[in-house]
Structure 1
């Protein structure tokens, strides 16, 4: 289940990747890295789309106004 109110942990994988020195990598290694990152982007997008579809189905079933109301 989504937990949008939780802060993203500091030092997560994306943050570590963004700060990594790419100097030591060869062109072939960089090409491999790009391929892996593109595959991860596709995986994340697929998960996002699945979550959006799940949310849309829930909104259709229960109504959008129910999403913002707290349960008792």
Structure 2
């Protein structure tokens, strides 16, 4: 590893919607896709948790 490699700015490991993707490698794009899939799963889990709470409340007030 050369000194030049150490001085390169590190690319962020997060993804910003709408950011320029042209400078990313295929591996970096795959990594971003993985991050986004994990985030989608996290959001869907939270949505389901909230929907379950709403169903429970609706059920309670309909009785």
Please, what TM-score do these two structures have when normalized by structure 1? 0.62
Ranked by relative contact order (alpha carbons within 8 Å, sequence separation 6 or more), the top structure is 2
Unaligned runs of 5+ in 2: 1-14
Q: What is the Cα deviation at residue 62 of structure 1?
A: 1.4
Please, what TM-score do these two structures have when normalized by structure 2? 0.70
- The number of aligned residues is 48
Q: Which has the larger radius of gyration?
A: 2
Aligned-residue CA RMSD in angstroms?
1.4
Q: Which runs of 4+ in 1 moved over 3 A?
A: none
Aligned to 2:55: 56
Aligned to 2:43: 44
